[in-house]
Amino acid sequence: MAKYKMLFLVSLLIGIASLHAQDPAIQKRVNDLLKQMTLEEKIGQLNQYSGKAVTGPASNQKTNLQEEIRNGWVGSMLNVKGVKDTKEVQALAMQSRLKIPLLFGLDVIHGYETIAPIPLAEAASWDLDAIKASAQLAAKEAAAKGIHWTFAPMVDIARDPRWGRIMEGAGEDPYWGSLIATARVKGFQGEQLGDTLSIMACAKHFAAYGAAIAGRDYNPVDMSEVELWQTYLPPFKAAAEAGVATFMNSFNTLNGIPATGNDYLQRTILKGKWNYKGFVVSDWNSIGEMLNWGYAKDTADAALKAIVAGSDMDMEGRNYRRKLVQLVKDNKVAIKLVDDAVKRILYKKFELGLFDDPNRFSNEAREERVINDRANRLVVRDMARKSIVLLKNASLPGQEDGLLPLSINTKTIAIIGPAAKAKRDMAGSWTVNTDSTTFVSFYEGFAARYDNSKLLYAKGGTVNASSEAEIQEAVATAGKADIVLLAVGETWDMSGESKSRADIHLPGDQEKLFSALQQTGKPIIVVIMAGRPLIFNSIADKANSIVYTWWLGSEAGNAIADVLLGDYNPAGKLPSTFPRSMGQIPLFYNHLNTGRPYTGTKENPKNKLYLSAYIDEDNTPRYAFGYGLSYTKFAYSDLKLSKTSINNKDSIVVTFKLTNTGKYAGEEVAQLYLRDEVASIVRPVKELKDFAKVKLGAGESREIRFTINKEKLSFYNKQLEWVTEPGMFQLMVGTASDNIKLKSSFELIK
């Protein structure tokens, strides 16, 4: 261990990112082992199988898989989990000739047993420490279950809320996405691989999977190189620089070439320009899918194209297993390509310490202790509160303050809605290991804190449909209350992989239910629990308050109650734009200006003729990137720039005063945007370049400071070089991408 630390320090000292530093001692062990391996054993390492019951009750694959593992023909398993099972399966690998341990991988996306908010929700927290802590907890629990490797974080930029996997990422912004990628990698992996509290991370899906045409999962992607580099690659680059152990390629094509068979992505960029030393796993049979794409004529051709393009491990496809030996024997695939892939995989197994003890992650006592530790709940509750976004908080007639927070004991409250008692839905996608009956529903969280004699409940239907009778019962219940809390949203299987939706309106009759309740004249607070940005225009227009909670995980109900009752002042800001209409999609804040920009808004429309606009809809979103309210208010003032012109070696210090002018202590996420006015390639109307999450007591002020340097002014030019160009920059500081409070400008000179 000490040796690793030394190596880490030395690499820092000489300014090399730790990922590029390879330990010569491990390299030697890898090379020595490689020399002993037969061709079959080498190719075995490139082979990953899914097996829920390799050693359990009879499964079709049982005999076959056991034998393959014993023969040393399997490098990794996914979906084998738990100390008992991992030990049993690892024991098979220990019967193989060279006793090369298996890697156990699993999709631990936002928790193993204790479930954190979905990743998109966490991105609304603007709290990198909390995001890192959440990944750390997921790693700790997974590691205690004998898992070495998570297929996370998903760092795909997503600008299309029809795409169900938007829930798995950090939203639409490359800057914020890159910071989150780093935080999650560091959270999962800890200080160094080999620590049994941590697991290997996997940056996926390389690349541009989030840009699937029309938001339909697995669809092709076509985009310019500049767009790829400027928007979609940065979080991957950040993950690589943070030392992510593995990459996963993706199901999509990029400009006509499947990502799995894409040597430009995997060899030129990842292993070339970025000098990435970890390994690349394919997505689930994405190698075999190249046949369907029409990019490979048969399995052998697919295997050949994938290995040549730099895909190191074949997930569940058996293409390498079936075809690579012969391809090498026929001199169609150079053995050095196979050796390189094997070395990358073996290196990680050594780093994890599996050769010294193949069961070092699998310990019964630790499994029991870690999984049942109730303290884990505190981590996800903290994360959940921070992920909630307050979208609206109007005051009742004659009152000054917003309806929220609710006072703890004054009113009779009707909790209504299909999501009110939901538990499984709070887990969202990728949470097969948890027992969601232990989750805290919204109703339970609220009821635990509120005088129960003053709580009424009606379900009002399901997320998919409400009958007249259900609506009438809900209306009658609302009629007996002073305030209505309406919980609506999506069920867990409406967002996630292969859950693209052509219509992202709040599903079923939930808006109809809202309108019926509205007729009662009671104040309504709407709590929306969903896996993606939804459209809910009548609620947006007419509800008194709206709280967007996403899917918050195990502690959902407690976290929502914390916010509604004012024990926690919400501070979340949207990481994704919420459109007004389906037809606006894709809609994102950092777009280009057009030659005919339309500057009207919904509130102040202008003549649209021959301008870039819709005749039947506004251009603006319903809720913009970076938007989110607090129970208190913030004022921005006194913007100062230390200089108004700089060169590439210089920096500008930007300061301004942030004041909490409201009645509650609270946090604000102040955002810094820049616009490069004129450049050799058209630049976005604004780009997020920094932010500060600041906690201020009522009445308190603080000076906030940002530094602008060359890095923040750079972009990819037509030649894909990361450059700056002299000229004017607009500087904007605001509370949301569409609510800029302070403006200035400066010049970059040669």
Phi/psi region, residue 254 (left: phi>0; alpha: psi -120 to 50; beta: rest), is: beta
Compare residues 166 and 475 and give the one whose CB is closer to ligand BGC: 166
Cα-Cα-Cα-Cα torsion 45, 51, 53, 58, nearest 10 degrees, comes to -90
Burial of 605 (0-12, 13-18, 19+ CB in 10 A): exposed
Helix (H) or strand (E) holding 212: none
Residue at 432: amino acid letter:
V
Compare residues 174 and 496 and give the one whose CB is closer to ligand BGC: 496
Beta strand spans in 399-482 (E)? 413-416, 455-458
Other residues' Cβ atoms within 10 Å of the Cβ of residue 514: 24
56: which residues sit within 8 A by CB, 6+ positions away? Answer: 85
Q: Least distance in Å: CB of 78 to ligand BGC? A: 6
- What does the angle CA 240 – CA 304 – CA 348 come to, to the nearest 5 degrees? 35
- Write the DSSP symbol of residue 438: G
Compare residues 77 and 748 and give the one whose CB is closer to ligand BGC: 77
β 652-660/645-646 pair status: unpaired
User: Which residue's structure tokens are 């002018």?
Assistant: 661
User: Which residue's structure tokens are 């420490």?
Assistant: 129
Q: Least distance in Å: CB of 289 to ligand BGC? A: 11
Which pair of tokens denotes residue 20? 């590029």
Buried b (16+ CB within 10 A) or exposed e, 275-309: ebbbbbbbbbbbbbbbeebebbeebbbbbbbbbbb
Binding stretches for ligand BGC (CB under 6 A):
78, 107, 151, 204, 283-284, 497
Q: Least distance in Å: CB of 56 to ligand BGC? A: 19
Q: Decide: helix, strand or coil at residue 33.
A: helix
Compare residues 497 and 668 and give the one whose CB is closer to ligand BGC: 497
Compare residues 283 and 690 and give the one whose CB is closer to ligand BGC: 283
Compare residues 247 and 623 and give the one whose CB is closer to ligand BGC: 247
Compare residues 156 and 562 and give the one whose CB is closer to ligand BGC: 156
Residue at 646: amino acid letter:
I
Answer whether 726's CB lies under 8 Å from 707's CB: no
Verify cis geometry, omega within 30 degrees of 0, for the bond prior to 205: yes
User: Which residue's structure tokens are 């979103």?
Assistant: 621
Q: Least distance in Å: CB of 202 to ligand BGC? A: 8
Compare residues 284 and 443 and give the one whose CB is closer to ligand BGC: 284
User: Which residue's structure tokens are 């219509």?
Assistant: 503
- Write the DSSP symbol of residue 461: S
Q: Least distance in Å: CB of 79 to ligand BGC? A: 7
Q: Least distance in Å: CB of 502 to ligand BGC? A: 20
- Write the DSSP symbol of residue 419: T
Q: Starting at the edge strand that comes first in sequence, how are the strands of the sheet with 455-458 ordered?
A: 389-393, 545-548, 524-529, 483-489, 413-416, 455-458
Catalytic residue among 23, 283, 301, 382: 283
Answer whether 654's CB lies under 8 Å from 703's CB: no
Compare residues 100 and 203 and give the one whose CB is closer to ligand BGC: 203
Q: Least distance in Å: CB of 494 to ligand BGC? A: 17
Q: Decide: helix, strand or coil at residue 277.
A: coil
- Write the DSSP symbol of residue 578: B
383: which residues sit within 8 A by CB, 6+ positions away? Answer: 116, 117, 122, 125, 130, 131, 133, 134, 553
Which pair of tokens denotes residue 678? 């004129």
Name the closest residue to ligand BGC (Cβ).
Answer: 151
Q: Least distance in Å: CB of 152 to ligand BGC? A: 8
Distance (Å, whole) CA 203 – CA 238: 10
Q: Least distance in Å: CB of 88 to ligand BGC? A: 21
Distance (Å, whole) CA 506 – CA 530: 9
Q: Least distance in Å: CB of 231 to ligand BGC? A: 20
Residue 503 designated active-site: no
Compare residues 164 and 628 and give the one whose CB is closer to ligand BGC: 164
Which residues are the active-site residues? Answer: 283
